[in-house]
């Protein structure tokens, strides 16, 4: 039997329109909004794990901060979602950017641990050595729309 | 019968009957065919065959007996076209009928019965009756397999179709058997048959006193349970479509009025269901039943029908693709069409309808067209246009009130939307009614009530519409006004309620809007369309009463507009108006062309004499209109040659008489426009007219040049030469040219003097006309100026003309160019580049000359021909060349050739070409001037990449391709090159894993630069591409 889902019945929200933008920073939300949730066939945007406001971009100082909100407090997928975000941004952004990924304050039981794990270079690199994890990440990143 | 035949036959019989698995079905079929052939050719008789079969037909082994009987039955099916003796048939059918009781060998008996029964006329009624009796006694249809059931239904169908008398004598029993047989059927193919069975059965018993009456309820209970047809498994394995089944069931439902007491309540019940598909189905069935049952029977259901219909219409959503609504309106129309007044009365007395009409003045907000109002209007529209009686009734009850309301409200600022809308729609409905009947026979409507009413209110209606058209500030109101007026004007001429004076008033109002109100573009366009529609309608219906009014009021006024200068109306609008009106019919068009010619002449003269920018603009608008609208329109009209001829000759007359002084940049544009129009006008002429124009042009040309041999730069001369070139470019290949040598001389001279259009003319001349020595003369003449860019350009166009024609001399031209490129590295770089570009001229399609519209001679595959001639030479020359300039120029020429050749031809040579192309891309990308060529070449590469045939060559050269693309990803001079290069890289990631994986690191690194590209679309492509390449690695886990 497959293991039980952590959040079996998430609330699904509508997708926002995609306006054509000119500022380079806004393009970032286009990169990560379509990442698929590891558990459900919905995008992170549809589950409101990521919203447009939660992304902070500074093109001049080459800095990006993403704050995401797990669907439930004890979500063990939070690290996987974070990893997906990091990999996607690594692939989509020029190397000059520094990327910070954080769980929104007060939305996860082990907030600090997750944050530390996600922003530790060595740990991320180690995670990406794990073929199972890379597979899972790649599945989430497969473009769902064209 | 010869012994060999018998042995042969027996062998085939044994093959077929053999039930062991040693013989394949195909083999058995073959032997069946073989025996059938013997029978057809009279090699054996049926009697002898039966004797041969003997034991097989009567043995106690069930399996062999079944095969034997089936063999005989299948044979009878196959020889159905062969006449048989009555006695034979009698005994055979007796046998098969009796065998129906043998359930173990039933298949054969069924097939045999069916095959024999279908020989209508050969079977006596007693035989048919025997089959039927045996069928009724022995068969329990629903306990059989699918195919057997199907055969049973076919037998029943055949009985009813071919032996109705026999069936009638059997009476109740037969109907009972059918009820029993079809009860509970589930297979779609069988259902199709059962529905049809019921339908033809009902046709057999037309009156209500017969045995069908007593079974009608039972039969309908069986049928009714299938409604609405719905497949639980949407993709059934057999090919019976839902629509087909639904249609068969509908025909069965409507087959007899006896079903009415059961069918209508069922359909009404299903109509009230919430399922949209069942609503649509019910409406469709009800429509059909209404037609079949007749109004008398339906009368008792009118009340419930109307209320459910109203429900369905009101609750359905308003949109064009709404099936429920459209079906409901069809049903409404059928109901009204069938009866005489009852149903319309229901509508007229309906509380909802009346309420809405009474509260019309509440509908003030136009932009939210109330759903309710629209629905009511739709109902009224359908009811009005259904029949004359209903139209009368509706006009009597509503119309006067509506018009009064409209009038009362039109005193206020904005007329009332509801009244305006509903009056317009009602008018449209009765026009629809008139037109519908007008096509079949003409009725005199003038005595009908509705005509009286309409006549009475016509003037006040017109007044209100005009008022809302003119005075309202809102588009919706004014357009409703235009629509109403248009419909009034569109009634046929013999229709008296709308009098001729009203018609003329309406046209007058329209024209005043056209002349004065051009600033409101939407209204202006709307009115123009209305005028065109009215004009076309008059033209189509040959309305002799209204035609003169239209001529005077619309056509004459618009034509006059052209020559009036003092109006504020923009000239382009005037020209548009005139040309659109002209397209209504030939008569108007001729009048307008005359006027346009005059206008062109005056504006050309003015712009020549004083260079007035306004006249130049006018002339350009007129010429463009001629080119884009008038000339194409005349192409579809027979014998309209003179229009184009006259135009061309007139321009030549003008140029002959004029004294041209100005020479400005704006005028250059005017010259271009005139040339274009001249080309297309000449191209539209016949051969004789073309030679006439050519003669005239040539005379003028030679006269001018006799007078001033020395000085060639006068503006008038330039006009004459350019227009002369245009005439030559547009000539037909068969046109007679009197003095080609002189023309050639002129062209050469003006070419050397720097007229590019003369180069086009030269190419066209060689392309179309068979010249022998002249080609050599021209070739040697042009090649003698080898340091002159114009001469080389002329040579390129000449080469193109010859190439398209497929002339041998083109090889000399190409050889000259190639030698020029390979040998002369000392020359001016510009000149060499020009020569390289001449390959582009030869290969690409041109708008200016040498195309289909200008009658070029085009041999198929000429591009491939040049490709195969030039490729090997260029290839070896590139390898040998040492100077970088020569090399880059050779690549430039090659890029022109490759990018213009059809992709399929390039694919054939892909292996050889790809290394060359990549070399070319690298070299060409160093110079900014080459960026378009680089882009074109890259597009060819991406074409090869995405084509299956090119894959092999790509895989072979994967590394150099990726290396080259990596460089182009950062190409600074053109965004499209970067974007395409990245797309190519994305496509490369689909190549076999083992080939591309080694380059992954390199590509991903290059792409990281592209991620920071200043252009957004490049960045997006880069992200996609990087994702594709990055995830190559994880794919390895699945392999």
Identify whether A62 is part of a domain.
yes
The whole-number pLDDT of residue B12 equals 84
CB B715 within 8 A of CB B663: yes
CA distances from B212 to B258, B627, B750 (A): 8, 73, 96
pLDDT tops 70 at residue B233: no
CA distance B413 to B410: 7
Contact A143 B1020 (CB under 8 A): no
Distance from CA of B1013 to the nearest CA of A (A): 9
Pairing of strands A55-58, A63-68: antiparallel
Q: Which residues 1013-1032 of chain B have a CB within 8 Å of chain A?
A: 1016, 1019-1020, 1023-1024, 1026-1027, 1030-1031
Contact B1011 A134 (CB under 8 A): no
pLDDT tops 90 at residue B939: yes
CATH number at residue A137: 3.30.300.130
Identify whether A81 is part of a domain.
yes
Whether A133 and chain B come into contact, CB under 8 Å, resolves to: no
Over residues B886-896, the mean pLDDT reads 90
Contact B1009 A94 (CB under 8 A): yes
Identify whether A6 is part of a domain.
no
Cβ-based contacts of B1033 with chain A (< 8 Å): 134
Strand-by-strand arrangement of the A63-68 sheet: A55-58, A63-68, A98-103
Number of domains in chain A: 1
Over the stretch B548-581, which tens digit does the pLDDT of each residue have? Answer: 888 888 888 888 888 776 667 888 888 888 888 8
CA distance B528 to B522: 10
Helix intervals (H) in B441-474: 449-471
Over the stretch B366-419, which tens digit does the pLDDT of each residue have? Answer: 445 567 778 888 888 888 888 888 888 888 888 888 888 777 766 666 667 778
* Residue B980, both tokens: 């395409």
The whole-number pLDDT of residue B982 equals 93
The whole-number pLDDT of residue B1038 equals 33
Cβ-based contacts of B1012 with chain A (< 8 Å): 94, 96
Cβ-based contacts of B1020 with chain A (< 8 Å): 27, 30
Over the stretch A30-56, which tens digit does the pLDDT of each residue have? Answer: 777 778 888 888 888 888 888 878 888
CB atoms inside a 10 Å sphere around CB B923: 20
Over the stretch A54-72, which tens digit does the pLDDT of each residue have? Answer: 888 888 888 888 898 888 8
B30 cis-preceded (ω within 30 degrees of 0): no
Identify whether A10 is part of a domain.
no
The whole-number pLDDT of residue B760 equals 92
Provide the number of CB pairs (under 8 Å) joining chain A to chain B: 37
Q: For residues B453-462, b (16+ Cβ closer than 10 Å) or e, as one string?
A: bbeebbeebb
The whole-number pLDDT of residue A24 equals 44
Q: Which residues 982-1011 of chain B have a CB within 8 Å of chain A?
A: 1008-1009, 1011
Identify whether A19 is part of a domain.
no
The whole-number pLDDT of residue A2 equals 47
Of all residues in chain A, the one with the smallest CA distance to B1009 is A94
Over residues B818-831, the mean pLDDT reads 78
Contact B1019 A138 (CB under 8 A): no
Mean per-residue pLDDT of chain A:
79
Over the stretch A88-143, which tens digit does the pLDDT of each residue have? Answer: 888 888 888 888 999 988 888 888 888 998 888 888 888 888 888 888 888 888 76
User: Which of A94, A95, A97, A129 should we substitute to test contact with B (largest number of B Cβ atoms within 10 Å)?
Assistant: A94
pLDDT tops 80 at residue B763: yes
- Please report the DSSP string for A54-97 in residue order: GEEEETTTTEEEEEE--SSTT-TTHHHHHHHHHHHHHHHS-TT-
pLDDT tops 80 at residue B964: yes
Over the stretch B186-195, which tens digit does the pLDDT of each residue have? Answer: 888 888 899 9
Of B233 and B223, the structure prediction assigns the larger pLDDT to B223
Contact B1026 A92 (CB under 8 A): yes
Contact B1016 A24 (CB under 8 A): yes
The whole-number pLDDT of residue B354 equals 83
* CA-CA-CA-CA torsion sign (B817, B823, B829, B831): negative
Contact A91 B1020 (CB under 8 A): no
Q: How many residues does chain B have?
A: 1039
Q: How confident is the model at residue B363 (pLDDT cuts 50, 70, 90)?
A: low
Contact B1037 A94 (CB under 8 A): no
Identify whether A15 is part of a domain.
no
pLDDT tops 90 at residue B984: yes
Identify whether A9 is part of a domain.
no
The whole-number pLDDT of residue B125 equals 84
**Among B131-135, B201-205, B757-761, where is mean pLDDT lowest?**
B201-205
CA distance B344 to B382: 11
pLDDT tops 60 at residue B699: yes
Mean per-residue pLDDT of chain B:
83
Contact A141 B1031 (CB under 8 A): yes
Of B1023, B1030, B1037, the CB nearest to A31: B1023
**Among A13-17, B284-288, B554-558, B760-764, where is mean pLDDT lowest?**
A13-17
Contact A138 B1031 (CB under 8 A): yes
A102 sits in which H/E element: strand A98-103
Distance from CA of A72 to the nearest CA of B (A): 29
Percent of chain B residues topping a pLDDT of 90? 8
Whether A19 and chain B come into contact, CB under 8 Å, resolves to: no
Q: How confident is the model at residue B704 (pLDDT cuts 50, 70, 90)?
A: confident
Rounded to 10 degrees, what is the CA torsion of B231, B236, B240, B241?
50
Q: How confident is the model at residue A146 (pLDDT cuts 50, 70, 90)?
A: very low
CA distances from A3 to A7, A40, B508, B686 (A): 12, 14, 82, 83
Please report, in angstroms and rounded to a whole number, the separation of the first and last CA atoms in chain A: 34
Please report, in angstroms and rounded to a whole number, the separation of the first and last CA atoms in chain B: 70
Of B1009, B1016, B1026, the CB nearest to A27: B1016
Contact B1027 A143 (CB under 8 A): yes
Q: Is A99 helix (H, G, I), strand (E, B) or coil?
A: strand
**CB-based contacts of B518: which residues, under 8 Å, 6+ apart?**
B524, B569, B570, B573
CB atoms inside a 10 Å sphere around CB B549: 19
Over the stretch B711-757, which tens digit does the pLDDT of each residue have? Answer: 555 777 888 888 899 999 998 888 888 888 888 888 888 888 888 88
Cβ-based contacts of B1024 with chain A (< 8 Å): 143
Contact A91 B1026 (CB under 8 A): yes
């Amino acid at each position: 039997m497959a293991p039980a889902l952590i959040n079996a019945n998430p609330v699904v929200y509508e997708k926002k329109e995609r306006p054509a933008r000119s500022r380079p920073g806004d393009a970032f939300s286009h990169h990560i909004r379509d990442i698929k949730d590891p558990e459900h066939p919905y995008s992170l945007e549809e589950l409101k794990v990521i919203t447009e406001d939660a992304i902070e971009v500074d093109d001049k100082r080459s800095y990006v901060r993403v704050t995401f909100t797990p669907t439930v407090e004890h979500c063990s997928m939070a690290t996987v979602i974070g990893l997906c975000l990091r990999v996607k941004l690594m692939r989509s952004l020029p190397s000059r950017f520094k990327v910070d990924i954080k769980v929104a304050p007060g939305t996860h039981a082990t907030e600090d641990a997750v944050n530390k794990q996600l922003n530790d270079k060595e740990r991320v690199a180690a995670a990406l050595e794990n073929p199972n994890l890379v597979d899972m990440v790649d599945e989430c990143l497969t473009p769902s729309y064209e | 019968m010869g012994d060999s035949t018998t042995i042969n036959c027996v062998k085939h019989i044994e093959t077929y009957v053999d039930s062991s698995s040693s013989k394949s079905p195909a083999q058995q079929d073959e032997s069946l065919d073989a025996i059938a052939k013997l029978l057809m050719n009279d090699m054996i008789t049926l009697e002898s065959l039966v004797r041969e079969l003997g034991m097989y037909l009567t043995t106690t082994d069930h399996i062999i007996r079944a095969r034997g009987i089936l063999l005989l039955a299948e044979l009878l099916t196959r020889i159905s076209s062969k006449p048989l003796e009555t006695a034979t048939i009698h005994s055979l059918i007796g046998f098969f009928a009796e065998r129906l009781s043998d359930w173990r060998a039933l298949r054969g008996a069924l097939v045999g019965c069916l095959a024999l029964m279908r020989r209508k006329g050969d079977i006596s009624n007693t035989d048919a009756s025997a089959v039927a009796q045996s069928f009724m006694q022995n068969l329990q249809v629903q306990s059989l397999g699918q195919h057997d059931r199907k055969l049973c239904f076919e037998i029943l169908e055949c009985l009813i179709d071919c032996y109705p008398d026999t069936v009638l004598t059997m009476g109740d029993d037969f109907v009972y058997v059918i009820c029993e047989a079809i009860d509970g059927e589930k297979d779609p193919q069988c259902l199709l048959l059962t529905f049809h069975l019921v339908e033809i059965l009902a046709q057999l018993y037309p009156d209500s006193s017969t045995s069908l009456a007593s079974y009608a309820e039972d039969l309908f209970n069986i049928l009714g349970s299938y409604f609405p047809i719905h497949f639980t498994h949407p993709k059934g394995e057999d090919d019976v479509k839902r629509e087909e089944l639904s249609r068969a069931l509908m025909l069965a439902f409507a087959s007899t009025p006896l079903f009415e007491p059961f069918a209508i309540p069922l359909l009404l019940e299903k109509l009230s269901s919430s399922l949209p598909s069942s609503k649509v189905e019910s409406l469709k069935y009800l429509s059909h039943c209404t037609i079949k049952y007749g109004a008398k029977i339906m009368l008792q259901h009118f009340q419930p029908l109307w209320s459910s219909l109203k429900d369905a219409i009101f609750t359905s959503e308003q949109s064009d693709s709404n099936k429920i609504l459209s079906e409901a309106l069809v049903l409404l129309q059928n109901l009204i069409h069938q009866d005489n007044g009852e149903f319309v009365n229901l509508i007229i007395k309906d509380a909802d309808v009346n309420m809405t009409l009474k509260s019309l003045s509440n509908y003030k907000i136009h932009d939210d067209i109330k759903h309710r109002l629209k629905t009511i209007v739709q109902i009224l529209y359908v009811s009005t246009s259904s029949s004359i009686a209903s139209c009368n009734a509706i006009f009597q009850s509503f119309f006067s009130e509506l018009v009064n309301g409209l009038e009362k409200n039109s005193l206020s600022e904005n007329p009332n939307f509801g009244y305006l809308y509903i009056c317009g729609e009602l008018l449209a409905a009765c026009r629809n009614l008139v037109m519908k009947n007008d096509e079949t026979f003409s009725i005199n409507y003038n005595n009908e009530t509705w005509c009286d009413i309409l006549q009475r209110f016509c003037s006040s209606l017109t007044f209100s519409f005009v008022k809302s058209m003119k005075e309202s500030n809102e588009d919706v109101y004014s357009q409703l006004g235009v629509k109403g007026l248009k419909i009034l004007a569109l009634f046929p001429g013999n229709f008296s309620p709308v009098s001729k004076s009203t018609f003329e008033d309406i046209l007058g109002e329209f024209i005043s809007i056209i002349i004065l109100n051009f600033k409101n573009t939407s209204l202006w366009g709307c009115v123009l369309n209305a005028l065109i529609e009215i004009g076309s309608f008059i033209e189509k219906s040959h309305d002799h009463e209204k035609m003169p009014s239209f001529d005077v009021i619309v056509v004459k006024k618009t034509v006059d507009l052209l020559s009036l200068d003092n109006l504020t109306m923009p000239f382009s609008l005037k020209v548009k108006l005139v040309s659109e009106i002209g397209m209504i019919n030939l008569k108007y068009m001729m009048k307008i062309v005359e006027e346009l010619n005059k206008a062109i002449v005056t504006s050309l003269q003015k712009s020549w004499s004083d260079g007035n920018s306004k006249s130049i603009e006018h002339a350009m608008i007129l010429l463009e209109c001629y080119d884009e609208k008038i000339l194409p329109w005349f192409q579809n009209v027979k014998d309209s040659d003179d229009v184009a001829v006259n135009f061309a000759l007139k321009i030549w007359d003008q140029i002959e008489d004029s004294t041209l002084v100005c020479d400005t940049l704006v005028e250059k544009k005017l010259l271009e426009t005139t040339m274009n129009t001249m080309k297309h006008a000449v191209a539209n002429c016949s051969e004789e007219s073309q030679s006439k124009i050519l003669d005239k042009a040539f005379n003028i040309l030679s006269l001018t040049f006799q007078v001033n041999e020395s000085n060639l730069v006068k503006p008038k001369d330039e006009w004459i030469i350019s227009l002369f070139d245009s005439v030559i470019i547009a000539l037909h290949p068969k046109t007679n040219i009197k003095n080609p040598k002189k023309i050639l001389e002129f062209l050469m001279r003006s070419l050397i003097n720097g007229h590019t259009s003369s180069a086009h003319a030269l190419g066209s001349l060689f392309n179309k006309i068979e010249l022998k020595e002249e080609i050599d003369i021209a070739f040697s003449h042009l090649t003698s100026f080898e340091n002159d860019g114009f001469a080389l350009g002329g040579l390129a166009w000449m080469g193109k003309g010859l190439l398209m024609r497929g002339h041998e001399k083109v090889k000399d031209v190409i050889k000259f160019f190639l030698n020029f490129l390979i040998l002369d590295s000392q020359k001016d770089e510009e000149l060499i580049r020009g020569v390289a570009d001449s390959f582009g001229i030869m290969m690409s399609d041109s708008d200016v000359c040498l195309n289909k519209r200008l009658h070029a001679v085009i041999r198929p595959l000429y591009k491939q021909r040049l490709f195969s001639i030039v490729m090997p030479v260029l290839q070896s020359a590139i390898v040998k060349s040492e100077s970088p300039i020569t090399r880059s120029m050779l690549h430039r020429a090659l890029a022109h050739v490759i990018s213009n050749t059809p992709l399929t031809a390039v694919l054939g040579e892909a292996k050889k070409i790809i290394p060359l192309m990549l070399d070319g891309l690298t070299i060409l990308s160093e110079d900014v001037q080459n960026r378009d060529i680089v882009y074109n070449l890259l597009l060819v590469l991406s074409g090869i990449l995405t084509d299956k045939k090119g894959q092999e060559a790509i895989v072979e050269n994967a590394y150099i391709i990726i290396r080259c693309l990596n460089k182009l990803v950062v190409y600074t001079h053109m965004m499209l090159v970067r974007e395409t290069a990245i797309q190519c890289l994305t496509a490369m990631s689909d190549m076999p894993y083992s080939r591309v994986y080694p380059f992954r690191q390199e590509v991903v690194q290059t792409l990281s630069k592209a991620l920071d590209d200043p252009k957004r679309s490049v960045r997006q492509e880069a992200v996609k591409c990087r994702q594709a390449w990055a995830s190559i690695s994880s794919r390895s886990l699945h392999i």
